[in-house]
Amino acid sequence: MLSVTNISKSYASRELFSGVSLTIGMSDRIAVIGRNGVGKTTLFEIIAGNIMPDSGSISRRRGTTIGYLRQDIRASSEYTLLEEVSRSSDVMNNLAHKISLLHEDLADEKDEETVSELLTELGELQDLYESKGGYNSEHEAKIILSGLGFSEYDFGRRLSEFSGGWQTRIELARLLFLNPDILLLDEPTNYLDLETQRWFESYLKRYHGAVLVTSHDRAFLNDVVRKIISIEADDVIFYHGDYDSYVLARQKDIETRQASARRQELKTSREMRFIERFRAKATKATQVQSRIKKLGKIERITVPHSTKRIHFKFPEPPRSGHTVIELKQVGKSYGEHIVYRELNLVLERGDRAAIIGVNGAGKTTLLRMLAGVLPFERGKCVLGHNVTTAYFAQYYIESLNPRNTLIEELRSVAPDEPEQYLRGLLGAFLFSGDEATKHISVLSGGEKTRVAIARMLTRPANFLLLDEPTNHLDIPSREILTYALDAYKGTISFITHDRTLIREIANKIIEVRDGQIKVFPGNYDDYLRQDEASGAETSATVTLRDLQQSGRPSSAGGNRQRKALEGHLRNEYYRAMAPVTKRIEEIEQESASAAERIKEIDAMIADPSHYKDSKNVVAVNREYLALRERVVDLTAKWDGLTAEAERLKLDFLRAKEAL
């Protein structure tokens, strides 16, 4: 669909990249990676046609459409959310208008040859219109918006009412609805919670078109992309595979080049010693000149730059008591909006608790109450013996003194530490050599984040609370943060959308949902398995009512009674779910059959011989339209049944928790 040929781009005297060539096919899933500032966004702007390369060319197949999600979204529309996403673009308006005119012409036309020509054009336009989501557009828009975390209430709100993060989601929903041939996504997961990320990844996997994405989310890259373009300081690397396999292959390549470079250096040194030794001897002149020419023809092996993990022993914080913090019957509200009521939570020494949940669920509120920086109306928060806390939020970066150098900033919190120690700590966070004397004012957002975390760990407390510490961090910086937190010996509670960080650090998951918390011991994958398992054990509302009438199990014989009630709950759930599951399967089979028949008709429409029989063409066209309407109807029914299944699941969980 699109070809990039030997393009380059520079700003002032700095070259971002050169000699970049690639071809984008219809089903490609490509990640463009590299450290912040290497030119990833610039490459996207060139592909989108917003800026011109210094050299090279971009060519795309006629009619190819491109949708581009930028990081800086500025909404100015006064439409409601649903109107903004579902309203047709100019292209959709034109297609709908042409289809309407063709239907009118067909109703009036008597000439069979002309009817055949009109039907051919109508079939092509209808296929194009359908592929762009023209039919039942509002229904499709609702599916996308719901997947991206918007509620039914949000559909009627004006765009101006949404915050910056939600504006990005709105723009993403609009692009997914428009269904362009090529999607350019610049950091699309920045404002998505974990649940929404999982939906988005699933959507991209079945997206009919090419996807190019920049992202620092390693789990997202592993799940979605199949090709990697790595823009590095001295090269642009192309690789087929996911991110993890690219890292392994790249490391192996670097090690191979390093070994080859060492062998080349040894060979060159031997040749140079021979030349220096016998340069003045006439009898060796021919051999000397031959070796000089040979050295001049050698192509030097270059070793790619790689980010080295600098091992640094972080100071061990003072040991706390076994119980680090306890929230007892805590209630928190913002005006009339109740976030938590009767919240109870205990964190123990050594816990590394990741707080997860949809945006707006109350994760930051919980973390801030744990950190002691947010008051609450009821209950109490009890710190354990010898517990000292350190709270990192995005505003913590603003506390850095812009006039300080990096070394001065660390010295301000650790005046008695030797400079070698402070430089070692900065080195662990990728600030080496003269970079330690840089001023805070010239650093990027990601660099400031690294300095802020380094300053926090200079004299670490034994209870760290971190709110989105990976914001602004590129992949190498996230890996350094992961290493630092893994080496930390105290207790951690943190919020992040980076699933790789959660997987590698957390040993406890705190899920926040509907004003309640649920604690899952184990790592993130353990949590996902438990979450999936709970989906198979849901209940019916009638069972909850029966349980409430029968009362809780008594202490005497309680286990036996509880097991009996659990069995009753499960039986009622299966009895309620059986017809729902059966109907879902029937609809899926019918939808698959209809989709298969639509494909057959698509093939017929593409065959010129199909239009020889005008009566058959009209009949097939009617069948085609009826099948599309049927698919829409089946999809709506499927949505309703799956929602019912989710309701039964929730009822069962509530009933089970009440035991």
pLDDT in tens, 518-531: 999 888 888 887 76
Give 547's pLDDT tier (boundaries 50, 70, 90). very low
pLDDT surpasses 70 at 275 = yes
CA distances from 228 to 57, 190, 649 (A): 21, 20, 40
Q: Are 396 and 427 in contact (CB under 8 A)?
A: no
Determine the 3-state secondary structure of 391 from DSSP: strand
Return the bridge partners of 68, or none: 184
Q: How far apart are CA 184 and CA 186, in angstroms?
A: 7
Determine the 3-state secondary structure of 580 from DSSP: helix
Q: Which residue has the higher pLDDT, 549 or 482?
A: 482
Biggest CA-to-CA distance, the chain: 111
Which of 36-45, 102-111, 132-141, 353-362 is predicted least confidently?
A: 132-141
Q: What CATH code is assigned to 2-88+134-241? A: 3.40.50.300
Q: What CATH code is assigned to 323-534? A: 3.40.50.300
Residue-wise pLDDT tens digits, 624-637: 777 877 887 787 77
Q: Are 428 and 456 in contact (CB under 8 A)?
A: no
What does pTM read for this prediction?
0.65
pLDDT surpasses 50 at 258 = yes
Q: How far apart are CA 102 and CA 579, in angstroms?
A: 44
Give 551's pLDDT tier (boundaries 50, 70, 90). very low
Tokens 């988005």 belong to residue: 200
According to the model, what pLDDT value does residue 105 have? 75
pLDDT surpasses 70 at 570 = no
Which of 239-253, 278-292, 547-561 is predicted least confidently?
A: 547-561
Residue-wise pLDDT tens digits, 604-631: 876 767 767 767 777 777 787 778 778 8
Give 324's pLDDT tier (boundaries 50, 70, 90). very high
Give 315's pLDDT tier (boundaries 50, 70, 90). confident
Give 540's pLDDT tier (boundaries 50, 70, 90). very low
Of the candidates 552, 525, 392, the residue with the CA atom closest to the CA atom of residue 471: 392
Number of residues written out for the chain: 659
